[in-house]
Structure 1
Amino acid sequence: MSDGGVAGQAEAETRPGRFARLRRHWLLTSALALALLATATTVPLVLADSGDDAPCQDVPASTRALAKDPAAATRALDPGDDMARYPAVRKLIRQENPCGDGARALGALIEAATRADRPGAVHTVAQARAAYAVVAALDWAEVPDGMAPGLARMLADYVVDEARYLSSSDDAAGPAVTSEQAAPDREGWTRYGRFLAPGEAHADFEYTDPVLDASTDPDRLIEEVARNPEAFAVLYDAERAYFAHYLERLTSQGGDPDSRREDDPRDGSAATTWPDNDLEDIAGRIGALMRYRAAHTRDGQIPDLAAFDRAVRQHTRGAYRPAERRLTTRPPMGDIAGRPVSGPLRGDLADGRHQLLTVLDAWAESRNVPEARAAAMGQIIDNAYVRGLWLSV
């Protein structure tokens, strides 16, 4: 794997380091010791250990049982439309050092609460709100490694929602929207994406609640879990599956078949405006995954890159190729990420640019896309991938 940009990347630290608590405890211990020496006072010194020696948190049987009851799990993690239960959700799942297999148990609970019930099923509003609450509750958290695969599968189940996230927005009215709220307007446009499944609710990761200090940044959570090879593979699969899904629903001109906007002479075809934006988002996410891989290698969280890459390939499902004819179906998000593979993934898995552009070229050839339009799409995807690889998405 060669295109992850491990060498030469410069990236500023943007979150608390994993040893921040250790430094704080060391300073506290030193200050207390000096105070005791100065006063010649003898008192029992009891301080919580840090790092691997920190006391673990037990995950009770009642919490573990929720993973086997999806309806109850959703109720437990649904913050409500008014976010009144968000503090309880945060307390339940934000555990940085669960005992034993507790991290995997929490990951299983999150999956049960947020993912679609079965293939072909759409997300409910309660499930979408729960997904928002999970991402908000774990913002800036040091996610235990055992939770990472479950969180990745949750994010993959909301691939359309996380891919469109850019930043918090005052236009977002709540943690999730109904299918009616997400429906396209008379011009065929909606801020929640293209080709949405009828009846599906969507998590709105752009929503923020300053009173509860609740906000989300899916990119930060993706960066955190991407140090786990299984989680990395799940997310990489989901983005590549979404890319194939998206292409096979475009017209042979690379446009949105549902667009009814009039063309703007300044911006060109209205039908291609939002597809270009969406393809940028997808390519940028894949580039960012490779950037996270490089960053985790530099900071030692991926101690053996070759072993990590082998594990990623073992967990990767395969390649995704668009259909040779335009599809008009609108599957739910869970089915997008879980679509059947087209065959084994060939070539350098970390060369995301190659993986994207070979799929685009095959689609353009099979659909007789005009050469100029195919070239323009390729340039958009290439630029977005490079930005994702080297810069913040």
Structure 2
Amino acid sequence: MGDLDTAHAATGSRRRRMPASVIAQALVLVLLAGGALLWWQQGQERGCWDMPARTLDLARQPERAARVLDPGTDGTGPDDALVRLLGDEEHWVACTYGSRNSDMGDVLTAATTGVSAYDESPPAVRHTRPMARVLRAAVSVLGARGTVGYGDGFAPYAARLLAAYPSAVNQGIAGVSDEENEANEANGKSGEAMVRFSEDSGDAEALRTVVEDIAADPEAYAVLYDALRAHLAARLDTATGPAGAKEISYQALPALAFLAGARDAHLASGRVADGAAFDRAVLRASRGGYTASPAARTAAPPPPEGAAAHRAPTERATAWARHGARATGLGPGDAARWFMDPERQFMAAVDRWGRDREIPPARQDRVRGFLAASWLRQLDLRTPSTAPGDV
């Protein structure tokens, strides 16, 4: 086996191929002061690519990364830098030491989250319009079936990108039209740029494809699962009564339902060979369990959307799962199974919220019943549940 074959084999067996190109050239990303020239073609057909140092530096320079990769307001930047970076199959295979998924992931993390991939404890940053455009375009490229060449090792990085946009992921999974997107954009109050994955443009379908890939990787699953559960807890932070709690039925449940359903589909298809082993691996990779703050918080302005990915867990994952399993009558061996049940997770958060806020038991039971019914609708339909109202 030659160097070219070895380089391609290093990306793993699951690879979605790009159509054969007439000339396969390595592209070097170059940033000039004015940003007019983004790409320099060099080399000859090699079947692999070594990411240039200036491109690698983007992982440490979030603002610059977003500026360089920004596709523009019409989705096609001056040189389509993002599409050319992600869409060339050779860019996912390093000439020197195999798959380069980590470098690609670090660059995208910086460009979409506004924090350096090398910062161990960064604060959440409000998304700018360039950051939001990069995220939407990246998902569109990564989720295009049959046209992407990334390997399995990239899934945790894809999860980190989506973990910084839990509201957008929930809306995209639920499915909205461009008209609804425009209304949501106009109603925004935080001043933060929002990502809208719409059904009309196909962005929502690309998002679902990426989440499906994430659901087959335990580490990636844990990253997104943590962020979605933390987002649900954050929605409860500002809730002062049952009406506020019921908002989670359409603001925080669609993505949880889709992620869990994708995991089950992978188990049925054989892509996930051992469900129990997969669940234990997710539990080991998870940061923990999430509940609302004991006292109601005001959010004026609301925290950045990416704050959920930085939220400290209420309890470490293993202890959270062990205590939760015991509280519901399950044995220690069922802790991972309890942990992987999203309904048990959000009901535990709602129960804690009700106790801490001293919600009367009768009213809390009504909220639980509403959420249980909403969860079943999410599992069956993958569509937004009924908006909150009197129940």
Instruction: Please confirm whether the aligned pair reaches a TM-score higher than 0.5, indicating the same fold.
Output: yes
Which of 162, 180, 190 is equivalent to 2:169?
Answer: 162
Moved more, 241-250 or 96-105: 96-105
Provide the C-alpha distance between the structure 1 equivalents of 2:254 and 2:204, rounded to a whole number of angstroms.
22
Which of 339, 353, 356 is equivalent to 1:349?
Answer: 339
Secondary structure of 1:112's match? helix
User: How do 1:13-24 residues align onto structure 2 when only pairs under 5 Å count?
Assistant: none
- Do residues 131 (structure 1) and 103 (structure 2) align? no
Moved more, 360-369 or 198-207: 198-207
Deviations 1:133-159 (A, max 9, x none): 111122234652222111111111011
Provide the C-alpha distance between the structure 2 equivalents of 1:200 and 1:372, rounded to a whole number of angstroms.
38
Deviations 1:240-297 (A, max 9, x none): 101111112111x2235xxxxxxxxxxxxxxxxxx63542342232222221111112
What letter is aligned with 1:340? A
Contact 1:285/1:385 (<8 A) preserved: no
- CA distance 1:298–1:310, change in 2 (3 Å): same
The match for 2:353 is 363
The match for 2:36 is none
Deviations 1:288-323 (A, max 9, x none): 222111111222222233332222111100011111
The match for 1:66 is 58
- Do residues 318 (structure 1) and 307 (structure 2) align? no
The match for 1:152 is 159
- Do residues 92 (structure 1) and 90 (structure 2) align? no
State the percentage of identical aligned residues: 30
Deviation, structure 1 residue 115: 0.4
Provide the C-alpha distance between the structure 2 equivalents of 1:367 and 1:70, rounded to a whole number of angstroms.
39
- CA distance 1:19–1:72, change in 2 (3 Å): closer
Provide the C-alpha distance between the structure 2 equivalents of 1:289 and 1:230, rounded to a whole number of angstroms.
13
TM-score, with structure 2 as normaliser = 0.70
- CA distance 1:390–1:124, change in 2 (3 Å): same
Deviation, structure 1 residue 56: 5.4
Contact 1:57/1:95 (<8 A) preserved: no
Deviation, structure 1 residue 173: 7.3
Deviation, structure 1 residue 21: 7.3
- Do residues 237 (structure 1) and 226 (structure 2) align? yes
Deviation, structure 1 residue 168: 4.7
- CA distance 1:84–1:325, change in 2 (3 Å): same
Secondary structure of 2:243's match? coil
Larger helix fraction of residues: 2
The match for 1:50 is none
User: How do 1:30-45 residues align onto structure 2 when only pairs under 5 Å count?
Assistant: none
Contact 2:113/2:164 (<8 A) preserved: yes
User: How do 1:243-282 residues align onto structure 2 when only pairs under 5 Å count?
Assistant: 243-251=232-240, 253-256=241-244, 276-282=246-252
Secondary structure of 2:346's match? helix
Provide the C-alpha distance between the structure 1 equivalents of 2:346 and 2:294, rounded to a whole number of angstroms.
16
- CA distance 1:58–1:352, change in 2 (3 Å): same
Deviation, structure 1 residue 87: 4.3
> What's the C-alpha RMSD, in Å, of the aligned pairs?
3.1
Contact 2:238/2:296 (<8 A) preserved: yes
Provide the C-alpha distance between the structure 2 equivalents of 1:303 and 1:94, rounded to a whole number of angstroms.
30
Contact 1:207/1:216 (<8 A) preserved: yes
The match for 2:39 is none
Moved more, 83-92 or 154-163: 83-92
The match for 1:380 is 370
Asked which structure has the greater RCO (Cα within 8 Å, sep 6+), the reply is 1
What letter is aligned with 1:114? T
The match for 2:194 is 202
Deviation, structure 1 residue 202: 1.1
Secondary structure of 1:171's match? helix
- CA distance 1:136–1:60, change in 2 (3 Å): same
The match for 1:327 is 297
Secondary structure of 1:328's match? coil
Provide the C-alpha distance between the structure 1 equivalents of 2:198 and 2:203, rounded to a whole number of angstroms.
11
TM-score, with structure 1 as normaliser = 0.69
Q: Larger radius of gyration, structure 1 or 2?
A: 1
Provide the C-alpha distance between the structure 2 equivalents of 1:355 and 1:74, rounded to a whole number of angstroms.
35
Provide the C-alpha distance between the structure 1 equivalents of 2:203 and 2:198, rounded to a whole number of angstroms.
11
Contact 2:15/2:152 (<8 A) preserved: no
- Do residues 338 (structure 1) and 310 (structure 2) align? yes
Which of 81, 100, 118 is equivalent to 2:73?
Answer: 81
The match for 2:210 is 221
- CA distance 1:59–1:202, change in 2 (3 Å): farther
User: How do 1:46-57 residues align onto structure 2 when only pairs under 5 Å count?
Assistant: 57=48
Provide the C-alpha distance between the structure 2 equivalents of 1:207 and 1:388, rounded to a whole number of angstroms.
17
Secondary structure of 2:60's match? coil
What letter is aligned with 2:129? V
The match for 1:307 is 277
What letter is aligned with 1:230? E
